[in-house]
Structure 1
Amino acid sequence: MFEVFKKELLELLRDRKTLFFVLALPMLIFPVIMGLVGFLGSQAALKAEQKVHTYYIINAQHSKQFAERVFYHKSFKQYSGAEQFDTIDALKEAVRSGSIDVGIYLEADPADALKQGKQAKWQMVFNDAQSINFIYNRLQSLANEFSELLREQALVSLGVSKDKQQAILQPIVVSKVDTADKRENIGEKIGAFIPYLLIPLVLMGASYPAIDLGAGEKERGTLETLLLTPVTRTQLVLGKFLTVLLSSLACATVTVLSMAIWVSVAVSFVELDTIKNAFSSITGMDFVLIFALLVPIAAIFSSLVLAISIYARTFKEAQNYMAPLSMGVFLPIVVSLMPNMVLNAKTALIPVTNVALAIKEIVKGTVDYGLLSMIVITSAGLAALLLACCVRWFSKETVLFR
């Protein structure tokens, strides 16, 4: 078994393509991609936020104060074209054609409407798909400020002093006392997404060498030579399995180390104290626990991909089989993101989902070590069962010589 393992490992180390996907990709490429996406996203959001939007107001005479607030706002500039708009439909058409970014229709004077005990209904016309809601939020903020001013004036005219207005408008104030610390709050929000990076990489670390050790051997015609050696089928499968498992674990190790390094680097440079304090509380033991969870998952994936590779006739056919498996791995991860999905005695028995939930709990700092042990044991049991099936699969001539 170990002779087969040594032989396959040497061949794996000579394959630069596999080494790139197992080592270089998790350590460098993914952090660079994530950083680049984050940078481009922040730049796009900043550009959208700083954009000056062209506006047109119908019936500006109904509220000169509001019209002046919009005019002097740094995010808006008045339409300077010759065309005139007097209906909602005209404003819609102007927005669609690009003549203006937003149209404002003031149906009535809010001061007069308030005296009559009515609300003034204003309409904002814009393309919400392109504005990322910046336009509406800013105009609504200006309208709310003006509305508060009118309300204050109306209450004063009714004999309610300014110092009593807040108590009348909001007699009861409810405040939230959160028992969760900053790490738990942030971990709940981002902890569930970490498995999206870790678990698929573990599968990828097993897939590439497994395809070569199974379907690749068939395609090159070297599988028959191995079968003629004085090695049992079980030893042959175990040797190949150990090679695939080592590759998967190497990918997992590099991924966890990379995540630890990049988190420490981010903590050193990020200026947000909340995020900094939350991530600085993640210890080395937490990363060890995450790695411990990935070991049985790596064994499960190694057994699966090796069985698939042995069944496939060619390298290309094996790659086609791996695609549905990759998609299937994401399904239990998505399940872990569902509302009210928490780690308990039941969810600890769901493969992959249990690991995703446990990683989130580790990031939050609220992990239950009893459930963690249950996950490792059940995952290891499933991996052993799949490995036994893989050995039996390899023993069938109809599978080896399809």
Structure 2
Amino acid sequence: MWLVFLKELKELVRDRKTLFFMIALPILVFPLIIGVVAYFSTKAVQEAETKVLNFAVVGEQYAPSLVNQMKDSDNFNQVSLPDEDDVTTSIRSGLTDFVLVIPDNYGDDVLATGQITLKLYLNDAGLNLVQHRLQAMVNNIAKHNQQLAFVQLGLDEDQQTALLEPIVIDKIDVADKRENWGEKIGGFVPYLIFMLCLQGAMIPATDLGAGEKERGTLETLLISPIARYKLVMGKFFTIALAGVTSALVTVSSMAIWGIVLSQGMAIQLVAEFMSAISGIDFALIFLMLIPVVAIFASLLLCLSIYARSFKEAQGYMTPLVMLVIVPVIMAMLPGVELKGGWAWVPLTNVALAIKELIKGTMDYGELIAIFGSTAIIATALISFCVYWFNKEKVLFR
């Protein structure tokens, strides 16, 4: 068994493509994703904030001061509507970015006019910040009108505050920063880790089964005086090692890049969050990935042995991505917690446990159910793989 393992390991190390998916991809993927998302999101927001918006006004005569402020601003450019009744068409055609409809009760005297409703017509399907930019201007006018009304009513500062907000709820969050951040990003981390582990094991698995069939080396291996189960276990350990290596590099990369980026970008909150996750928690995240990788490795080896060619094996393995996505999505659903039956659901329990470890709210007693369920399934799949390997019609179909 170990001779087969060493033989497959040597071939694995010689394959640059496999090493890239095992080591280079996990190391690069975290800073790459963070950098790309940050760059494009920042660029999109900057473009939306600096874009000059074309606007048209219906009922301009009721609020000349507001319209003049908009004209004088560098953010807005007034255009004329060809037909005031066809507001939607003018926006969809690109003639205007938005149309503001001012009611006839508009005025500075709040006590006389009552509440004023400005109607804003726009295409809000994309990032435009139209309402945000217009709201800032309207808020200044509204605040000025409020102060005039308070002066007329003769209210002091405390009465003004009580009138604006008669009842205030003072929310006191007992969750610490780590728990808050863990709840927000904890569901995404297992998805990324599982995908990288599956990717790291998929390439060698395809080659060790279907690849050997295509090269004609499988027959030579089968006539050697080695028990079939030892051949299976040798190949299994090679695939599992590739997946575990990818898992280890992924977890280490997540920890290292999180600290480096938070320090380099002077993000104190992120630095505090990363420093709050202990080495034991990172070690447990890695250890829980071992039985998960065992499930991936045994299932991938079964499919690879069954396939007639490398291409056919890739076709069988592609749907496994859904096998990874669905349990992680289940872990993100509201009300799904690492309690009761969910602690025994394969893959979902590991995703929930990783989320709890990141949050710092892990019930370590649930590790028994997590390791137990994943170990049982991994053992069953390995046993099926041995059975599969002993069927000659599968090996030479």
TM-score, normalised to structure 1's length? 0.92
Partner of 1:128, secondary structure, is coil
Equivalence map 1:207-356=2 (5 Å): 207-356=202-351
In the alignment, which residue of structure 2 is the partner of 1:71? Answer: 71
Deviation at 1:357, TM superposition (A): 1.0
Identity among equivalent positions (%) equals 47
Equivalence map 1:119-268=2 (5 Å): 119-130=115-126, 132-268=127-263
Deviation at 1:249, TM superposition (A): 0.7
Deviation at 1:394, TM superposition (A): 1.2
Letter in 2 for 1:366: T
Count of matched residue pairs? 397
- Structure 2 CA distance, aligned partners of 1:88 and 1:358? 58
Deviation at 1:308, TM superposition (A): 0.7
* Mean CA deviation greater in 340-349 or 231-240: 340-349
Letter in 2 for 1:48: A
For the 8 Å contact 1:267–1:280, the answer to whether it is kept is no
Partner of 1:57, secondary structure, is strand
Deviation at 1:372, TM superposition (A): 2.5
- Structure 2 CA distance, aligned partners of 1:112 and 1:264? 53
In the alignment, which residue of structure 1 is the partner of 2:390? Answer: 395
Deviation at 1:186, TM superposition (A): 0.8
Q: Which runs of 5+ in 1 are unaligned?
A: none
- Structure 2 CA distance, aligned partners of 1:229 and 1:112? 95
- Structure 1 CA distance, aligned partners of 2:113 and 2:141? 17
- Structure 1 CA distance, aligned partners of 2:30 and 2:156? 60
- Structure 1 CA distance, aligned partners of 2:174 and 2:111? 46
Deviation at 1:382, TM superposition (A): 1.5
- Structure 2 CA distance, aligned partners of 1:218 and 1:236? 14
TM-score, normalised to structure 2's length? 0.93
For the 8 Å contact 2:327–2:347, the answer to whether it is kept is yes
- Structure 2 CA distance, aligned partners of 1:73 and 1:117? 26
Q: Does 1:383 align with 2:378?
A: yes
Letter in 2 for 1:38: A
For the 8 Å contact 1:108–1:120, the answer to whether it is kept is no
Deviations, residues 198-248 of structure 1 (Å, cap 9, x unaligned): 011111111110111111111112111111111111111001101111111
- Structure 1 CA distance, aligned partners of 2:299 and 2:125? 43
For the 8 Å contact 1:211–1:306, the answer to whether it is kept is yes
Partner of 2:107, secondary structure, is helix
For the 8 Å contact 1:23–1:251, the answer to whether it is kept is yes
Deviation at 1:361, TM superposition (A): 1.0
* Mean CA deviation greater in 264-273 or 331-340: 264-273
Letter in 2 for 1:214: G
Deviation at 1:369, TM superposition (A): 1.0
Partner of 1:25, secondary structure, is helix
Partner of 2:187, secondary structure, is helix
Distance 1:249 1:182, change over 3 A: same
Letter in 2 for 1:47: E
Partner of 1:288, secondary structure, is helix
Distance 1:84 1:386, change over 3 A: closer
Deviation at 1:151, TM superposition (A): 3.9
- Structure 2 CA distance, aligned partners of 1:227 and 1:208? 22
For the 8 Å contact 2:56–2:81, the answer to whether it is kept is no
For the 8 Å contact 2:210–2:304, the answer to whether it is kept is yes
